[in-house]
Structure 1
Amino acid sequence: MADHYEVLGVSRDATPDEIKKAYRRLARELHPDVNPGTEASERFKEVTHAYDVLSDPKQRQQYDLGGQGGMGGQGFGGFGDIFETFFGAGQQTRGPRSRRERGQDALIRVEVGLDEVIFGTHRDLEVDTAVLCETCHGSCCQPGTAPVTCDICHGTGSIQRAVRSLLGNVMTSSPCGTCRGYGTVIATPCVTCQGQGRVRARRTVPVDIPAGVDTGVRLQMPGSGEAGPAGGPNGDLYLEIKVRGHDVFSRNGDDLLATLEVAMTDAILGTTATIPALDGDVDIEVKAGIQSGEIVTVKDRGVTRLRGNGRGDLRIGVQVVTPTKLSGKERALVEQLAASRKPGKPELAHFQQGLFARLRDRFLG
């Protein structure tokens, strides 16, 4: 790599003003607006980089030392430098760090209906996330260019300097301020991603939500999260499930619960009913003499088990509805029925829980 002083045409002891004047003269001569040639453009980039280094006193000092600190540091280094040296942190052993990093994980909340979790469902989710830059494909550079070796740390990613301590002169190491520890400098960053290797965009993620999920369940989709910087691997996408409530059916584990209102006469004589379940009609037999709070179970018409085979049951709680208004004829018929049965007078009996409490106990029992 060419010497920065030679690039600007100044001596190594040039003053800051002399360096600035030399840069301005060359910039006017080589600027793409004045000299559009390819060779002039590359020369302009080289001149600009040389000026960036030599115009910064700290970077110029490091450059003059060849990326290695001199032995004449004044004062005593802190105890942190001493311990870093003896415990290994003071030595650059790992080399420059990579620009490629793993992308972040993402969490999306997905709401599904109770009917969708019986057999599972499919969703195409629109996600705002980081995706790989299509211009540079993660290289962070303009097409046709590549990172160049940092001329301050010479590709090591760190700068060593000597400090005086109670134990004498010791060497410490710190990340290079010019390349930020990468060992390379991106001279011509990609204009699309601004040298990040990724951009923000909306993408569609197809998701198969398995049967049997419930509110609070999290599904992991490896590699479907954000793209990493500089073409790094994607993070993971997590889906947190919320199951919407239903007007008729509720859920207890893998079982579906509902209440069937039965007229008093049907409860006495018995009947059949066809109810619209979540996955099709179900025929229910109401036996004669059925009581409020009894449960009619339909096997294998519940929710498909998330981890296992088969399905839960559909459990129907019966509620006998007593009419509140009767016509004269209806009342006469009921009185005739009552007289024929000769029921006893109402008597106290052991306390029984209300209908809904009994239904709950039977459902959950």
Structure 2
Amino acid sequence: MAKRDYYEILGVDKNAGEDDIKKAYRKLALQYHPDKNPGNKQAEEKFKEATEAYEVLRDPEKRGRYDQFGHLGAGAQAGAGTYGFDFSNFDLSDALRTFMRDFGGFGFEDIFESSTRRPRGRQSLRGEDLQIRLKLTLEEIASGVEKTIKLKRMQKCPACNSTGAEKGSHKKTCPKCQGAGEVKQVSRSMFGQFMSITTCRNCGGEGEIIGKPCSTCGGEGRVKGDSTITVKIPAGVSTGNYIPIRGAGNVGPKGGPTGDVIVWIEEEEHPVFKRRENDIILDLPISFTQAALGDEMPIPTLDGKVSLKIPPGTQSGKIFSIRNKGIPSIHGYGKGDELVRVIVWIPTHLGPEEKKLLLELAKSEKFKPPKGDKSFFDKLRETLGI
């Protein structure tokens, strides 16, 4: 079954601000919260659906990725990574945690001890995302390309196997959070009782404290090293697009989840073509005689040369369109065109003989423009000062 659009779920438009998204989610969450709808599976699914949408749209990076690639979910590959978001293990307790984190509770201290909550174990810190800028030629953008990228990133410490503890050293349960990795705090106000859950500062959310830190990594469980990734760039990308490579970033401290690599696309300036969305533009200088008499010329494209007929009487600025010789749509349908803009070249240095011939031609009615337009010879006289 196809997933619903996240904006549609929350009832907001695509230009909605952070506050609007938060208000829309809060309204739905209060309406479908399990404590207000005990035993109602449909309300539970609505609550989870709204929370999933909120988790994506509240985060600028996830939202940008969703706006760009939509629901490409788990398994939609981009080189070594995934465009989408994996909510395959997102259950009711995750949804409740999101709501409690941002809005507090309804006054039920044991909300997370209910039968709906599964044990989470210790909280692991996720590794940092790495940002990379990748320059591509227009030819690479037109065809799509696979790139191998070398980078330095945090990797698992081989000495302690990412535990952060020296060999022979033991971990012990954090006395402050009793191994939960988080601390609950209940407060009361005139509106009722509220509970907040925060990461334990004493153990950093680990739930455990190291007796003797690893001498190789200093207790972090990771060290910096060289790495290589491969990314497939689809045809049609442009400057400002990015491709996330899931699990290719820094390893998290002490065996935590690995971050992503975000590959930002930069389009190199082309020596011949200019790009306008999916069309490419070529300025083609031709002589006055070619413009007047017509010609057939070889024209460069991004995938070879084609022949272009210049009809007699072609004016400077005339644009010829060569179909499907532009950039493919990143969405997978259609291609742009190559637009050839004719520029009639006017010589700037003429000898006496050339001037005489042109002045003779200028006497002909055929060389006189319609009233109000400047002719080629008028422009030529202005240029040469004659």
TM norm. shorter chain > 0.5: yes
Structure 1 gap segments, 5+ residues each: 1-85, 161-173, 353-365
Q: 1:99 to 1:135 in 2, by over 3 A?
A: farther
Output the amino acid matched with 1:139.
T
Give the Å deviation of 1:141.
2.7
Partner amino acid, structure 2, of 1:136: C
Residue type matched to 1:321 in 2?
Answer: W
Instruction: Tell me, in whole angstroms, the C-alpha distance in 1 between the residues paired with 2:183 and 2:309.
Output: 85
Q: Is the 8 A contact 2:122 2:180 kept in 1?
A: no
Distance change >3 Å, CA 333–CA 226, structure 1 → 2: same
Over the aligned positions, Cα root-mean-square deviation in angstroms equals: 3.8
Whole-Å separation in 2 of the counterparts to 1:96 and 1:343: 87
Question: Per-residue deviation at 1:314?
Answer: 0.7
User: Structure 1's 205 and 298: CA in aligned 2 closer, same or farther, altered over 3 A?
Assistant: same
Rate the CA distance shift 1:197–1:247 in 2: closer, same or farther, 3 A: same
Letter in 1 for 2:236: G
Q: Pick closer, same or farther for the CA change 1:250–1:153 going to 2, 3 Å.
A: closer
Q: Secondary structure in 2 aligned to 1:267?
A: helix
Partner AA of 1:349 in structure 2: G
Q: TM-score under structure 1 normalisation? A: 0.58
How big is the shift at 1:137? Answer: 2.4
C-alpha spacing 1:92/1:180, structure 2 compared with 1 (3 Å): farther
Q: CA deviation at 1:291?
A: 0.8
Find 2:323's aligned residue among 299, 307, 311: 299
- Which of 288, 310, 313 is equivalent to 1:289? 313
Q: How does 1:60-99 map to 2 (within 5 A)?
A: 88=109, 98=122
Partner of 1:126: 150
**In the TM superposition, what are the counterparts of 1:309-324 in structure 2 within 5 Å?**
309-324=333-348
- What residue is the counterpart of 1:243 in the other structure? 267
Paired residues of 1:96 and 1:183 also in contact (CA < 8 A)? no
In 1, Cα distance between equivalents of 2:175 and 2:269: 64
The aligned counterpart of 1:216 is 240
Question: What SS is found at the alignment partner of 1:100?
Answer: coil
Q: 1:152 to 1:283 in 2, by over 3 A?
A: closer
| CA distance in structure 1 between the aligned counterparts of 2:331 and 2:122, rounded to whole angstroms | 41
Task: Kindly state the Cα deviation for residue 329 of structure 1 after the two structures are TM-superposed.
Answer: 3.8
2:365 is matched with which residue? 342
Question: In 2 relative to 1, CA 189–249 (structure 1 residues): closer, same or farther, beyond 3 Å?
Answer: same
Cα distance between partner residues in 1 of 2:342 and 2:201: 77
1:115 is paired with a residue whose SS is: helix
CA distance in structure 2 between the partners assigned to 1:319 and 1:177 by the alignment: 69
Residues 182, 291 of structure 1: CA spacing in aligned structure 2 closer, same or farther, 3 A cutoff?
closer
User: Does the 8 A contact of 2:142 with 2:235 survive in 1?
Assistant: yes
Query: Is 1:139 the equivalent of 2:163?
Result: yes
Equivalent position amino acid for 2:261 in 1: L
Q: In the aligned structure 1, how far is the partner of 2:145 from the partner of 2:182?
A: 53
Aligned letter for 1:342? E
Cα distance in 1, alignment partners of residues 147 and 343 from structure 2: 38
Match of 1:269 in 2: 293
Q: Shift in Å at residue 267 of structure 1? A: 1.0
Count residues in correspondence: 254
Flag the 1:268–1:190 CA change in 2: closer, same or farther, 3 A.
same
AA aligned opposite 1:203? S
Larger Rg: 1
User: 1:228 aligns to what?
Assistant: 252
- The 3-state SS of whatever aligns with 2:335 is coil
